[in-house]
Structure 1
Amino acid sequence: MLKSYDELRKIDVKPYCEKRDGLLYLNWAMCIDLLRKNGATKVYWEPIPNEKSGGSLRMSDAVFTDSKGNTNRCYETRIRVIIDDNEYEMQTPVMNGANPVKDNSMSQQRVWNSMCRAFVKCVAIHTGLGFDLWLKEEYDKMDAQIPETADNLVSSAKIKTLEKLCISHGIDLDAWICGNGRTRETLTEGEAAKMLNAIKKKYGDE
């Protein structure tokens, strides 16, 4: 039987990671191996085909053109993750690092990388294994935040990060936000960053 979320969250996956673009990444195969070593008897993932094309790549109808005439769309992949009796789905953008993939550089390898990243992220969200790697990535993004954006309304991604952390630590997120005179709809980027840092300092999340 697979260990609990809290138990898997405590596993230090850093020794099993590789470093790319200054960040640590857990390989999909190593992720499967770690899940099996911690109680899972069945772990795999499979692409969910695009209903229109039958292929693995999904795309928006809108085409974007940069100043050099290069075009791209919003490209994404969607996968189904199976862990024992549980099934999850995850949709993820196809990216070139932090940049969108342009049409002239799209490849099967980029599509594959997107699905692999989706698998590892889906596992982290639902099982806790490797979750702190993604948390660290979110913190790093906040540290690089331009000061002028602090008053902007918080993004849905940061709200989800706060929600996951609050659940794992038994915190009532809505009551906390309300105590600061805000709602989820009026919370700002700066306030969300302070809340994340408060959790980081109290519970040692990295």
Structure 2
Amino acid sequence: MLKSYDELRKIDVRKYCEEREGFLYLNWAMCIQLLHENGAEKAYFEAVPNEKTGSSLICSEQTFADKSKNTNRCYETRIRVVIDDNVYYMQSPVMNGKNPVKDNSMNQLRVWNSMCRSFVKCVAINTGLGFDLWLKEETGPFASYIPEQQGVKASEAQIKAIKSIGKKHKLDLDKWIIYNGKTWDTLTDADAGNMLNTLKEKYGDE
């Protein structure tokens, strides 16, 4: 029998997480393993097909365009989550981090990632497992890293993501950082977050 909500919420899942752009994510497979380790007999999810198209992707009829004239729509996925005798449904947006996915970069991997993230979030909401990860994330950027502290150093993952975008678009990021009175060594997580957001807004979905 699966442990209670209170018991599952007390489990520190951070050691099972991976870091992406300053946030901690619990992998869907590890989430299922932890459910089984804590009493679940069944734990899985499956896509709920779009009634109109039969595909796993739900999208709005309205399109939107950014300043570069790249178009996108409101894309979502819907899943059915089964944990023992309980069945839950979760519908979530298809996102690239905190940015909407543009039409020109929509693919099966984006759809799959949306469903996986939706599953982990659904588990957190309904069972308590990993709930505090979402509680911290929803409070604001980089909240999973001690939000009361100022000037926390940028993570290696953040810097790697920034440099990857810079290399792709042949940008002089060193000059940009120096212009703002920083160096790669003094860059904070907030600085890195602002840089990533600016780069993604300017160059589209990375």
TM-score range, shorter chain: 0.5 to 0.7
Deviations 1:84-133 (A, max 9, x none): 00000000000011110000010100000000000000000000000000
- 1:13-162 equivalent positions in 2, closer than 5 A: 13-141=13-141
CA distance in 2, matches of 1:131, 1:87: 18
CA distance in 2, matches of 1:23, 1:67: 28
Letter in 1 for 2:89: E
Letter in 2 for 1:88: Y
Compute the TM-score of the two structures, normalised by the length of structure 1.
0.68
Q: Give the unaligned 5+ runs of structure 2.
A: 144-206
Aligned to 1:35, the other structure's residue is in SS state helix
Using a 3 Å threshold, how does the CA distance of structure 1 residues 68 and 107 change in structure 2: closer, same or farther? same
- 1:155-174 equivalent positions in 2, closer than 5 A: none
CA distance in 2, matches of 1:141, 1:102: 22
CA distance in 1, matches of 2:136, 2:38: 23
Letter in 2 for 1:46: E
CA distance in 2, matches of 1:139, 1:55: 33
Q: Give the unaligned 5+ runs of structure 1.
A: 144-206
CA distance in 2, matches of 1:38, 1:88: 19
CA distance in 2, matches of 1:139, 1:59: 27
CA distance in 2, matches of 1:65, 1:15: 40
Aligned to 2:113, the other structure's residue is in SS state helix
Aligned to 1:140, the other structure's residue is in SS state coil
**Structure in which a larger fraction of residues adopt helix:** 1
Offset, 1:39: 0.2
CA distance in 2, matches of 1:128, 1:71: 37
Contact 2:22 2:142 in 1 (8 A): no
Offset, 1:140: 2.7
Contact 2:17 2:27 in 1 (8 A): yes
Compute the TM-score of the two structures, normalised by the length of structure 2.
0.68
Letter in 2 for 1:23: F
Offset, 1:67: 1.7
Offset, 1:27: 0.2
1:11 aligns with 2:38: no
Aligned to 2:3, the other structure's residue is in SS state coil
Which residue of 1 is the match for residue 171 of structure 2? none
Query: What is the root-mean-square deviation in Å for CA atoms of aligned residues?
Result: 1.2
Letter in 2 for 1:25: Y
CA distance in 1, matches of 2:46, 2:90: 11
Deviations 1:12-51 (A, max 9, x none): 0011000001000000000000000000000000000000
Offset, 1:65: 1.2
Query: Sequence identity of aligned pairs in percent?
Result: 73
Off by >6 Å, runs of 4+ in structure 1: none
Deviations 1:123-181 (A, max 9, x none): 000000000000010123497xxxxxxxxxxxxxxxxxxxxxxxxxxxxxxxxxxxxxx
CA distance in 2, matches of 1:141, 1:46: 30
